[in-house]
């Protein structure tokens, strides 16, 4: 029997320099439970160092925390990577770190990049330029995510910057995204009109939360058997009555 899982698949922790310092893994988990969200994904910019803390915090609570990352391509397009386990996302992190453009984070300009454990103890400050781009093309990123068994989703395609459409002007036919993400900045009706040429892709929507108050402001409902990446993949393809819905 299919169940309905309410998911917010784009959430930044205090590791992202643009996120509020209160976005600790434990605070995010607590807020997700309070807002009756069933699945969240931790998707910091070009890093996954707070994923394990969030998954440990969720523990046996009624919440699934997917291992994620928002990777910036060489074209400066943002792409969400979603996997079940931290092991896969850490492999992606190794690849991303090797291909980050050189430079050190300027905390005064961009903000701190804080690595925190499940007890809200600060472990370190990431000094890499996480807000920058990688030397990996969008095609290379999508292919790498798929090789690790993950979902590759084009971030906030309606935005005027850092989306695949804003950066390329179109989505190449050979760029096999599993879904396109619509941001909270546009309603469903306007999105369907503005991007009707891309309705052959599945669509989701997420909060892209950088502050606790924004978590869950946009969610996607997945009709599936269990909260796993494989079931989500099937739901995006409408296999055996599985489906996704959003407003």
Per-residue pLDDT at 152: 98
SS (H, E, C) 172-197: CCCCCCCEEEECCCCCHHHHHHHCHH
Q: Are strands 3-11 and 39-42 parallel, antiparallel or unpaired?
A: parallel
Residue 212 predicted with pLDDT over 90: yes
For residue 22, what pLDDT is reported?
98
140 CB-near residues (< 8 Å, 6+ apart): 73
How confident is the model at residue 119, as a pLDDT? 95
pLDDT of the residue at 247: 87
Mean pLDDT on 24-33 = 98
Q: What is the mean pLDDT of residues 168-176?
A: 96
- Strands 179-182 and 122-125 turn out to be unpaired
Are 143 and 55 contacting, i.e. CB atoms less than 8 angstroms apart? Answer: no
H/E element holding 109?
Answer: helix 107-110
Tokens 């984070």: give the residue. Answer: 105
pLDDT in tens, 103-123: 999 999 999 999 999 999 999
Q: H-helix or E-strand containing 71?
A: strand 64-72
Residues near 36 by Cβ (< 8 Å), separated by ≥ 6? 6
pTM to 2 decimals? 0.97
- Does residue 126 surpass a pLDDT of 90? yes
For residue 154, what are the domain limits? 3-245
**DSSP-derived pairing of the beta strands 203-205 and 78-83:** unpaired
Which residue is associated with the tokens 């924004």? 214
Which H or E run contains 64?
strand 64-72
Question: Does residue 60 have a pLDDT over 90?
Answer: no
Q: What percent of the chain has pLDDT over 90?
A: 98
| Residue with the two structure tokens 């439970």 | 33
Check residue 236 and give its pLDDT: 98
Mean pLDDT of the chain: 97
Average pLDDT estimate for 37-54? 98
* pLDDT the model gives residue 51: 98
The span from the CA of 5 to the CA of 22, in Å, is 26
Number of domains in the chain: 1
Residue 194 has pLDDT above 90, yes or no: yes
Average pLDDT over residues 133-149: 98
Whichever domain contains 162, its CATH number is 3.20.20.140
pLDDT for 214 beyond 90: yes
In angstroms, the CA 140 to CA 145 distance is 9
Whether residue 230 has pLDDT greater than 90: yes
Residues in CB range of 124: below 8 A, 6 or more apart: 115
Statement: residue 224 has pLDDT above 90: yes
């Amino acid at each position: 029997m299919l169940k309905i899982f309410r998911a917010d698949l784009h959430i930044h922790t205090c590791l992202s320099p643009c996120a509020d310092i209160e976005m600790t893994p434990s605070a995010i988990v607590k807020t997700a439970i309070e807002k009756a969200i069933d699945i969240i994904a931790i998707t910091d910019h070009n890093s996954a160092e707070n994923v394990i803390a969030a998954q440990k915090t969720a523990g046996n609570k009624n919440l699934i925390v997917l291992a994620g990352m928002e990777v910036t391509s060489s074209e400066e397009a943002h792409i969400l990577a979603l996997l079940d386990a931290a092991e896969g996302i850490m492999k992606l992190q190794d690849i991303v770190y090797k291909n980050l453009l050189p430079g050190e984070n300027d905390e005064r300009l961009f903000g701190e990049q804080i690595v925190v454990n499940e007890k809200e103890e600060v472990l370190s400050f990431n000094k890499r330029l996480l807000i920058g781009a990688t030397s990996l093309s969008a095609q290379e990123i999508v292919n790498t995510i798929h090789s690790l068994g993950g979902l590759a989703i084009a971030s906030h395609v309606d935005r005027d910057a850092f989306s695949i459409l804003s950066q390329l002007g179109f989505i190449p036919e050979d760029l096999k995204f599993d879904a396109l993400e619509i941001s909270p900045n546009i309603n469903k009706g306007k999105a369907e009109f503005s991007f009707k040429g891309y309705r052959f892709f599945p669509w989701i929507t997420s909060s892209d939360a950088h502050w606790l108050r924004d978590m869950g402001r946009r969610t996607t409902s997945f009709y599936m058997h269990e909260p796993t990446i494989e079931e989500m993949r099937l739901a995006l393809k409408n296999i055996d009555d599985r489906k996704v819905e959003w407003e």
